[in-house]
Structure 1
């Protein structure tokens, strides 16, 4: 029994050449000679070289010519550029590649066709050849192989750092990170309607307008559905002495909510200050500076109950109806606990949700033992820690998961 010898595949032509770089560089030379070459043609050549790697100069010529040449007048330009690029390759091209229409080309010479002389513009070495990687041997170096160390990104590395260890630049960077996080926000059912196929309520005006096509006979009943709008958000930030380390970070969160979610934001210590116009500045640094200068009683005492009563009684109290109210404070209050409990009861009846952010809640064994925190806790839907930017991001994610469509 005679076994057939295994067939050996031909070696690839020009090994170690980047196919994409070859096609792009060749197309660039064709464009410099006035031949229009689009991105589709470059992609076709790359796919052709990938599907059938050329084993000779002739196969490379035809793969490039079929991909790049679109008109008969462009063959001469292509031949000149191809000859200029591959003039040093000792492989004869296919004689059929140089045939001219009308039989004027004649028979090819025994040594192969003479390619056109390269122009001065096309002279030069191959610009796309992939050079072999220089690797030192084990005997050349006594050092151990170096393993690249993967470091966290700017935001990922700073997200879990406490607020008091962050500088101004880090605060701005993480503030923009929070702004990007406020993308999907809870919605509420609005009072306006829009015509749509998923509507349930008959749209009389749209039905009458449609009936004009059928002689005012309403053959098609149009329907409309209510439009959803982002749920209103109100945030109150404690800027007293006990919250000095968290005040700047909370201002960045308030700016993110004001810019993206259209929130109303307030700061309080002994009095209430509205910061929505100041924090909507385009520059984060200027916004924080303007807000800091506007709060005259910062880093002083704390009167949470009095400030909540002030907000409920002001003309901004209407923004609390059906809103998500976020309070950032550690719960230390100089007002009596029963006064804060009464104010929080009124706030809870008016708001959709009340979320309390406490920077001390992340400490091991934390208990809401402060008088103000214990009085306000029964009227809060959630008590979340907020001592790092990562925890602020989790607060935003927790709010974004709320998809209530009620009109409350």
Structure 2
């Protein structure tokens, strides 16, 4: 193909692609070339777009040589390129997107110019292979208040439930909100353990494995084996008050405890007058079945409260060592039938053994609350945090406090 120098115009070379979308033109041209068998890909398309963007206007001859240099990689593709280029630029009279094709009244700033005789899909039968005209949009009036097509912006259903008291939530809503707590616990912190593992990025030399490797090289330590400390999730021990004064909060707290058992290394205990281990029951697959089974395991539910005696029983039991270095969470209103002196002794032992002690009190968020109950007043000096826990929003704040976030908002709900 021998490109003409003036494209049949007595006034010199005709300028094309003025005001056109060069990227759309390049993509459409490459699509036609690929259908014709020319091996042009994303790299060639990008080269063509950058070359076309180098100046504001281009003549037909310049576009020909730019497209040929950037798109044709093999000599065998040249005949197909010549046919496609001729079909695009030679079959339309006058040539679209030139100064001759601009309708009367068009200005220099026209961006979307008409493409005459172009079929809807822009194929080779007519027009150029691209169209920058936007699709027609039917004008309509501004939507009114009664227009059903415009949705009303409302807060999330979970956000509305987060501020409601536990007694107003049914089992389905409790399960939905418990899923939010489980999602928060995915970022549970880890701690450095005493065990080490072989790791090339470790900072310490593993002497034992290095010597073992040197046996193969005449006891010359050519290969240095390194190790690092193994990190494990910090253990959590949770104690839930299931006495009569905690009847409205028990189910919600059990959902919180169940979320801990499924995400972290947690041990869960329920107490009223006696201490009951709930970890095996809460690790059941179904959330509702696990909470129901845990409620059935507790034999003294909705009875009296002996917080200090149950804490001492846990410290003296076989599970007492689980408290060492653990985060201890106590969910109770602080009403205790044991004397305050016994609560002070039990909490003092617990504080020395645990990593942190956090107390969730459903009445702590009420206006004018003060820990005047004897059991709560005796336990408070040994707690790192005491947080309100009357709604699921309070529980999310408590979980974030345990994670170290100390956030006062709960955008996750």
1:278 offset after TM fit, Å? 1.8
Verify: 1:265 aligned to 2:268, yes or no.
yes
Structure 1: distance between partners of 2:211 and 2:295:
57
Report if aligned partners of 1:23, 1:42 keep a CA contact under 8 Å in 2.
Answer: no
Report if aligned partners of 1:163, 1:388 keep a CA contact under 8 Å in 2.
Answer: yes
Unmatched tracts of structure 2, length 5 or more: 1-14, 98-116, 118-122, 125-129, 406-413
| Counterpart in the other structure of 2:321 | 318
| Counterpart in the other structure of 2:137 | 133
CA shift digits 1:263-305 (9 cap, x unpaired):
0111122222222122122222222222222223222222212
Structure 2: distance between partners of 1:343 and 1:182:
28
Report if aligned partners of 2:16, 2:57 keep a CA contact under 8 Å in 1.
Answer: no
1:305 to 308, 312, 320: 308
1:45 offset after TM fit, Å? 11
Distance 1:163 1:315, change over 3 A: same
Report if aligned partners of 1:23, 1:45 keep a CA contact under 8 Å in 2.
Answer: no
Distance 1:194 1:142, change over 3 A: closer
Q: With structure 1 as the length reference, what TM-score do the two structures score?
A: 0.67
| Counterpart in the other structure of 1:246 | 249
1:192 to 181, 188, 195: 195
| Counterpart in the other structure of 1:173 | 176
1:335 offset after TM fit, Å? 2.0
1:51 offset after TM fit, Å? 6.8
What's the secondary structure of 1:132's corresponding residue? coil
1:210 offset after TM fit, Å? 4.1
Verify: 1:216 aligned to 2:216, yes or no.
no
Taking only aligned residues, the RMSD between alpha carbons, in angstroms, comes to: 5.0
Verify: 1:328 aligned to 2:336, yes or no.
no
Report if aligned partners of 2:181, 2:396 keep a CA contact under 8 Å in 1.
Answer: yes
Distance 1:65 1:169, change over 3 A: farther
1:257 offset after TM fit, Å? 0.8
Report if aligned partners of 1:45, 1:63 keep a CA contact under 8 Å in 2.
Answer: no
Report if aligned partners of 1:202, 1:224 keep a CA contact under 8 Å in 2.
Answer: yes
What's the secondary structure of 1:277's corresponding residue? helix
Report if aligned partners of 1:193, 1:224 keep a CA contact under 8 Å in 2.
Answer: yes
Structure 2: distance between partners of 1:179 and 1:89:
68
1:160 offset after TM fit, Å? 3.1
Verify: 1:162 aligned to 2:170, yes or no.
no
What's the secondary structure of 1:383's corresponding residue? strand
Distance 1:61 1:246, change over 3 A: farther
Report if aligned partners of 1:235, 1:254 keep a CA contact under 8 Å in 2.
Answer: yes
Structure 1: distance between partners of 2:201 and 2:37:
54
What's the secondary structure of 1:182's corresponding residue? helix
1:30 offset after TM fit, Å? 11
1:368 offset after TM fit, Å? 0.6
| Counterpart in the other structure of 1:396 | 399
1:156 offset after TM fit, Å? 3.4
Report if aligned partners of 1:41, 1:68 keep a CA contact under 8 Å in 2.
Answer: no
Structure 2: distance between partners of 1:176 and 1:335:
36
CA shift digits 1:83-112 (9 cap, x unpaired):
9xxx9999679xxxxxxxxxxxxxxxxxx9
What's the secondary structure of 1:151's corresponding residue? coil
1:63 offset after TM fit, Å? 11
1:43 offset after TM fit, Å? 9.3
1:55 offset after TM fit, Å? 11
Bigger RCO (CA 8 Å, 6+ sep): 1
382-391 vs 290-299, which moves further: 290-299
2:359 to 356, 359, 362: 356
What's the secondary structure of 1:395's corresponding residue? helix
CA shift digits 1:137-157 (9 cap, x unpaired):
57xx88799987543334434
| Counterpart in the other structure of 2:20 | 12
Structure 1: distance between partners of 2:206 and 2:389:
47
- Between Structure 1 and Structure 2, how many residues are aligned? 359
CA shift digits 1:236-266 (9 cap, x unpaired):
0112222122212211111111111120111
| Counterpart in the other structure of 1:288 | 291
Structure 1: distance between partners of 2:138 and 2:210:
76
1:167 offset after TM fit, Å? 2.8
Structure 2: distance between partners of 1:150 and 1:300:
46
Report if aligned partners of 1:329, 1:357 keep a CA contact under 8 Å in 2.
Answer: yes
Distance 1:44 1:360, change over 3 A: farther
